[in-house]
Amino acid sequence: MKKLLTILITILVLQAPSLADDISDFQIEGISIGDSLLDYFSEEEIKAKGNFVYKSKKFITFSTKSKSNVYERLQVNYKSNDKKYLIHGVSGYLRFDNKMKACKKKKKEIVRELKDIFKDIKIIVQDKKHDYDKSGKTMVYGTFMDFKSGGYSDVYCTDWSNELTQKNGWYDALEIKIGSEEFDNFLRNEAY
């Protein structure tokens, strides 16, 4: 019964096909890498909710409240100079205010199911300090998956410092993220 419940939750949360072997087969709220953000939102909405959140201005992050019951927030990343708004990254957020134990448990369930769905991945489990927080007080408890065909998926819990929570209104959350190989390189080498 528990296995069945986990499978059902994962299907609802991840919305990924059962035999996926490429990052473009993976969807969050029906959105895939390579889609146009214009297929889901108007240009006015995109411009109103798009922000530069990284040091580099190469990519813009569009952030909005989720339209489904699965996630609380949705973020989509696209290139700042792209008039087609092609999607390079999609993230869904589940809020876990000061509940890291519960967040880590849910993360483990999702990662276990992803391993069953995606066979052609390299997995790295890493708990580390968040690159954004120069004080070193914010922790990320993550499982990072690189697709051999290109792109990545990350499932991680972020335990924001009290200072950043108060300053920015950020909350502790489980994040499920997919991204193109180009966006992955940007995050690793340019973003911060």
The strands making up 50-51's β-sheet, listed across from edge to edge, are: 50-51, 59-65, 73-79, 87-95, 173-179, 152-159, 139-147, 121-129
pLDDT tens for each residue of 147-166:
888 889 999 999 999 888 88
Q: Which residues of the chain have pLDDT under 70?
A: 1-22
**pLDDT the model gives residue 121:** 86
Please name the residues in contact with 135: beta carbons below 8 A apart, sequence gap of 6 or more.
161, 163
**Portion of the chain with pLDDT greater than 70, in percent:** 89
